Amino acid sequence: MVMPWPQPENDPFHPAWDPPAPHDEDARLAAVTAQRLSTDWTTRRQPITVTVQNRVVILAGTTADLETRQVAGELAWDVPGVVDVCNTLRVMPRGRRQQR
């Protein structure tokens, strides 16, 4: 006698595992990265936009100096789950900064 082997989708003892949708993971990574940038004293007052596509963080906007640009990239790299960082932040020239 031969017993039929259940297919994975029909096996009641091993329900199919649904990996998280890529957009859910991207949204989580964007939120964590934005939170880190907003709490770090170097980057918190900078107009930085965070976008994530396929676990790649894209930083856009302007920063006051090169050090701030570099710190933003490093903070994004430190988020668990990020596979790459595209740092497109521009340094605002000194003469064009807004006076407060």
Beta bridge partners of 51: 58
Assess contact for 63 and 37: CB atoms under 8 A: no
Query: Could you tell me the sign of the dihedral formed by the alpha carbons of 68, 70, 76, 78, in that order?
Result: negative
- Looking at residue 38, its pLDDT comes to 94
User: Which CATH fold topology does 21-93 show?
Assistant: Histidine-containing Protein; Chain: A; (3.30.1340)
Rounded to the nearest angstrom, the gap between the alpha carbon of residue 59 and the centroid of all alpha carbons in its chain is: 9
Assess contact for 50 and 37: CB atoms under 8 A: yes
All structural domains of the chain with their residue ranges? 21-93
pLDDT higher than 60, residue 17: no
Outline where the chain has alpha helix (H). Answer: 22-39, 66-77
- The whole-model pTM stands at 0.72
Q: Dump pLDDT digits (tens) for 19-43.
A: 556 669 999 999 999 999 999 999 9
